Structure formats: C-alpha cells, structure tokens
Structure 1
Amino acid sequence: MVCLQLRGTALGSVDAVLFDKDGTLSISEPQLLTLASARVFLCLEQAALALPAAVLPDLQQLLERAYGLSSAAICPAGITAVASRDHNLIATATALVQVGMGWPEALALSEQVFAQADQQDARRSQEAAGHTSTTTEGLRPWLEELQAAGVVCAVISNDDMAGIEHFLSSHGLDLFFAGLWSAEHRPRKPDPAAVHGLCEQLGVEAHRCALIGDANSDLRMAVAAGIPHQLALGYTAAWSSPPPLAEPHPLIHHWKELSLAGS
C-alpha cells in the first residue's frame, strides 16, 4: 500500500488521487479573467439594444459581482472560478432580470452572449495563438511520482470534456490520467455521487482516494462521498489571492510538499 504524506506527515493510504482542473492542475485565472471580461462586454453590448442606457452601469456592476471579476483578478470562490458554464449563464440572466428584462428575453440574450464568447474562448484561442495555459508549478514531477508508485490519477472538473482533454493533451499530461469526470457527466460535481461515479469508472473505493481541489465545494463533496477528511486536500497556489478554504482541511501550497511512502 502507498501512504500519502504532506510535509512529512502521513495522511493515509491511497489507491487513487482525484484532481480538480482549473485552479489545481491549471493556472487558469488569466484565461478566466479574459473570458469573464468578454462576457460582460458582450452582454452590455447586446443589452444596450433592449434596455435604457441608464441601467447599463448597474448591469455592469451586477455582472462583475456575479462573476467575481475585478480589473486584474478573478475571485477564486466566485462562479467564474468554481461553477459550471450553465450556472454562469443563469447568473447572467438573473442580472438582466434585475435591471428590468423579462426572464425569457434575459435567458435568450445570455445564451447568445455565451455563444459569442465561446467562439473566442480565451482558454482555447490563446492556446491556438501559442499562448498556452500554465500548469501549476511542480505538477509533472508529482504526477510522475504517483504513476511510478501505481497510484491512479483522475480529473473531476466542471469544465466540459473537450476543455479537459485539450488541457491535458496540450501539456502532454493525458497519459497520467486514467479517468475524467466533466460537467457533461451526471451527476456532476459538487454532488458526492460524482465522486462515486468516477471511482466506479476507475475501479477504486472512495475511502481509498484523496481528492485535491481549490474550492470548499470540492472538499465538502469529497468528505460527503466518503473520502477521509485528511485526504480532502485544498490547493492554494494557483490564484493571485489564495482561495478561502475551510479549516482544518490540509492545505497544499506547492506540489513538492506531497510525497509517498510504503505503508
């Protein structure tokens, strides 16, 4: 058996490690900042055709607060960082309703805006232009150590399958991961049954897994699914402002803090 250690302290024996993607495997803040900014711009542009100009500043503030968007950062606990695409879309439509638009019109406009933003999705368009997203520092050596020890790795993310696969393949990481669970799977995270579905796919038991993520919803999901509390690990190093993770979950500040030992 393999024992997972954090800064030399044994956490427990593991057969598999489940990783969140954005904010854990990937430093995604620059791409998410660009994507959220594009959604705000496009939404204001389209709303100006249907709403009085006087409400547009209020709409901008509502959208920026909803997205967790500031001039140079994304809130790591906000919906852009944590929630799925359709949850972001619903939040957008809700902001439009708050400034006077009917729900059917707000939903239709939001879907139009998101389709336009998807055409210039920062995570893909920047990579196509040669500006590849960044993996978190020290990730590959840690994945190599897990692979050498026979510990199975998987991704559990609210990105779609295309986004997960593109990220892994563009960084040559796909061979390290035996399973993927995306926003297209049902149920999706943070439902604890998403962990069970992924564990079944991998052929492992939840109580023999560790889960590493950058959001409290990841950590709560892990424990509710039966992963031991000390093996639900918070990763802090991918954001300009560290995510507000609940104590006393163990926190990882760099992948080199983790190690493996026989048990």
Structure 2
Amino acid sequence: MDLRLVIFDVDGTLVDSQADIMASMTAAFESAGLPVPDREAVLSQVGLALPIALMELAPAAKAQHESMIDAYKQRYFGLRSEKGTPQSSPLFPHVRSVLDQLHAENETLLGIATGKSRRGLDGLLDGHDMRPLFVTQQCGDDHPSKPHPAMLEAALSETGVPAKRAVMIGDTSFDMQMARAAGMLAVGVSWGYHDAARLKDAHLVIDDIRTLPGLLAQIWEQSA
C-alpha cells in the first residue's frame, strides 16, 4: 500500500485555544510581577515550546522563567478542568468532519506535531475523543522546539512514510519552516494565529479546511 502522511499542528490549526493561552500567559507574567504582553505578541509565539516563547517575550526575566512556566501550566490546566476541553479548546469549524474523512482513507495516516506538553496534548485528544485518529503524536516534551524538524523526522520514522509523501498542516511560520527543514510540503492555514504575511514559507495556503481532502488528492497524484 502506498501510504501517505498528513501531520497537523494543534493550537491555531485544529483548535482555537487563544483565550486560555492568553489567560495562562497573563497568570505567568503576573506571577513574576511583569507587565503582560499584548495579544498580538503572545499569539506570535504560539507554536514554540513554552520555554522558548518566554525567552522571546521576557528575555530579561530568565531567572523567573521556571516559576512562570509553573504558573502558566497551573492556570492552563485549571481552565481546562473548569470548562472542559470542548469549551476550553474548541475545534475550528468542520475540523472533525475533515479529520474523519481523511482517517477513513486506507492509505492516509494522520499525525500530530505540536509544541504542547504531553500532558496538554493527551488531555486535548482525549477531551475531543480524537486519539484514535492519529497514529503518530509528537510533542514539545520529546523534541527541540519548532522550527527544528525533529518532530517531523520522528513521525516519518515511526510511520515509514518518505518525506515526499508527507504534508505538514499548520498556522504559523514555525510550522512552515519545520516542514521545509524536514523536506516535506508545507500547507499553511489562514484561520490561525499568524497572518498570511508570516506564512511566506508555505508551499500552499488554504482558507477553508473543507478544501483539504481535494488538495491532498492532487498532491498525492503529483507525487506518485
């Protein structure tokens, strides 16, 4: 069977978690007595591992980063516990139906590559009952931060799919750079946290996830 692999970013691509991200980053900065960055600054770092994001947002407070990370996580998981995953990190429109459609294709494997922690990813997948959809699940606990290609290289190794038969779907410049570094096609989405100007490394950009199956069919035909 000629397998192909479709790897998805999570925050800003599959789920809209910006409210909880902002609330958690606010808790982190307030715990250190620091002014809270504005929404645009925070969302510009979504996709990076949390320690790397804090280095970008608060480079002068390096000594406080560990306690800020603890405050962020405490608030983030507290909100998820209070609200439940579907409300805390709701799926973007039509995401589930498209994932189910792709999962039903015998030759298509689905994967995840996210800067989230393993605990965060597990909670999200279980909260949305999506764990069975993804055969490879790469997270920030196990790899260098995006845009390093380690996550994608691990996904390729686990599935045995060559890079030319794999696609990365994401909403940030970090996703697109990571895909190119791994030698795979980079497909950006316009509904996430980086605007189109920052997706210049994408090979293609889509505005509606419902167009993805048709686009992938064309990609697989061209790469056959």
Q: Same fold (TM over 0.5)?
A: yes
Partner residue, 2:82: 129
Q: TM-score scaled by structure 2?
A: 0.84
Instruction: Sort the Cα spacing of 1:249 and 1:224 in 2 relative to 1 into closer, same or farther, 3 A.
Output: same
CA separation in 2, counterparts of 1:22 and 1:28?
Answer: 6
Is the 1:26–1:238 contact (alpha carbons within 8 Å) kept by the matching residues of 2?
no
Partner residue, 2:29: 40
Instruction: Sort the Cα spacing of 1:249 and 1:75 in 2 relative to 1 into closer, same or farther, 3 A.
Output: farther
Instruction: Sort the Cα spacing of 1:193 and 1:92 in 2 relative to 1 into closer, same or farther, 3 A.
Output: closer
**Among residues 95, 112, 126, which one is paired with 1:139 in the alignment?**
95
CA separation in 2, counterparts of 1:247 and 1:179?
Answer: 24
Deviations 1:49-106 (CA, angstroms, capped at 9, x unpaired): xxxxxxxxxx52xx51xxxx23xx5654x22x1321111343466233xxxxxxxxx5
CA separation in 1, counterparts of 2:144 and 2:58?
Answer: 24
Is the 2:177–2:201 contact (alpha carbons within 8 Å) kept by the matching residues of 1?
no
Partner residue, 1:258: 212
CA separation in 1, counterparts of 2:210 and 2:22?
Answer: 28
Is the 1:137–1:254 contact (alpha carbons within 8 Å) kept by the matching residues of 2?
no
Deviations 1:141-188 (CA, angstroms, capped at 9, x unpaired): 111111111210010011111111111110111111001111122344
CA separation in 2, counterparts of 1:233 and 1:126?
Answer: 31
Is the 2:139–2:151 contact (alpha carbons within 8 Å) kept by the matching residues of 1?
no
1:186 matches 2:146: no
Is the 1:32–1:74 contact (alpha carbons within 8 Å) kept by the matching residues of 2?
no
Instruction: Sort the Cα spacing of 1:83 and 1:110 in 2 relative to 1 into closer, same or farther, 3 A.
Output: same
Deviations 1:15-36 (CA, angstroms, capped at 9, x unpaired): 0101111111111211111112
CA separation in 2, counterparts of 1:95 and 1:171?
Answer: 38
CA separation in 1, counterparts of 2:32 and 2:145?
Answer: 27
Specify the code of the residue in structure 2 equivalent to 1:180. Answer: Q
Greater percentage in helix: 2
The higher relative CO (CA closer than 8 Å, separation ≥ 6) is in 1
Q: Equivalences for 1:11-22 in 2 at 5 Å?
A: 15-22=4-11
Instruction: Sort the Cα spacing of 1:258 and 1:167 in 2 relative to 1 into closer, same or farther, 3 A.
Output: same
CA separation in 1, counterparts of 2:138 and 2:201?
Answer: 26
State the structure with more CA Rg: 1
Specify the code of the residue in structure 1 equivalent to 2:69. Answer: F
Partner residue, 2:47: 82
Aligned-residue identity in percent: 24
Instruction: Sort the Cα spacing of 1:115 and 1:127 in 2 relative to 1 into closer, same or farther, 3 A.
Output: closer
CA separation in 1, counterparts of 2:168 and 2:202?
Answer: 15
Is the 2:20–2:88 contact (alpha carbons within 8 Å) kept by the matching residues of 1?
no
Partner residue, 1:245: 199
1:111 matches 2:100: no
Q: TM-score scaled by structure 1?
A: 0.72
Gaps of 5+ in 2: none
Displaced runs of 4 or more, over 6 A: none
Is the 1:156–1:189 contact (alpha carbons within 8 Å) kept by the matching residues of 2?
no
CA separation in 1, counterparts of 2:174 and 2:57?
Answer: 21
CA separation in 2, counterparts of 1:20 and 1:90?
Answer: 22
CA separation in 2, counterparts of 1:173 and 1:248?
Answer: 26
CA separation in 1, counterparts of 2:180 and 2:98?
Answer: 23
Is the 1:29–1:74 contact (alpha carbons within 8 Å) kept by the matching residues of 2?
no
Aligned length: 212
Gaps of 5+ in 1: 3-13, 45-58, 97-105
- Partner of 1:257, secondary structure, is helix
Greater percentage in strand: 1
CA separation in 2, counterparts of 1:187 and 1:118?
Answer: 19
- Partner of 1:152, secondary structure, is strand
